[in-house]
Amino acid sequence: IAGITQAPTSQILAAGRRMTLRCTQDMRHNAMYWYRQDLGLGLRLIHYSNTAGTTGKGEVPDGYSVSRANTDDFPLTLASAVPSQTSVYFCASSDSSGTSDTQYFGPGTRLTVL
């Protein structure tokens, strides 16, 4: 693995189903983030984690949950999917001890909820 990986690449999901989007990084970054990207809007932060064992809510957390059991993994769960959660989801990570704390992104998961 080099950088950040996300799975699945894309998914079509029936409304009401539970879904977990996976994110793994091998850069030993302490901070990780989940964003959604919708046409015409900027990236919006869903949840973040500054270090393993801690998580925080972003701008649009409702309907989503996360966990951070270790440094490398940061899964995002939709407990009961709704059509408004149709979006492209990006996971990102950063080394907050660095000068700029630049975020690096995974390839994204395209999710469609019907």
Partner 1 sequence: GQNIDQPTEMTATEGAIVQINCTYQTSGFNGLFWYQQHAGEAPTFLSYNVLDGLEEKGRFSSFLSRSKGYSYLLLKELQMKDSASYLCAVRDSNYQLIWGAGTKLIIKP
Question: Given the rule CB under 8 A, which residues bind partner 1?
Answer: 40-45, 48, 58, 90, 100-108
Query: For residue 110, what are the contacts with CB-CB under 8 A and spacing of at least 6?
Result: 9, 10, 11, 88, 89
Residue closer to partner 1 (CB basis): 14 or 28 = 28
Residue closer to partner 1 (CB basis): 80 or 112 = 112
State in angstroms the smallest separation of the CB of 85 from partner 1: 19
State in angstroms the smallest separation of the CB of 100 from partner 1: 4
CA–CA dist 28, 93 (Å, integer): 9
CA–CA dist 4, 9 (Å, integer): 13
Residue closer to partner 1 (CB basis): 26 or 101 = 101
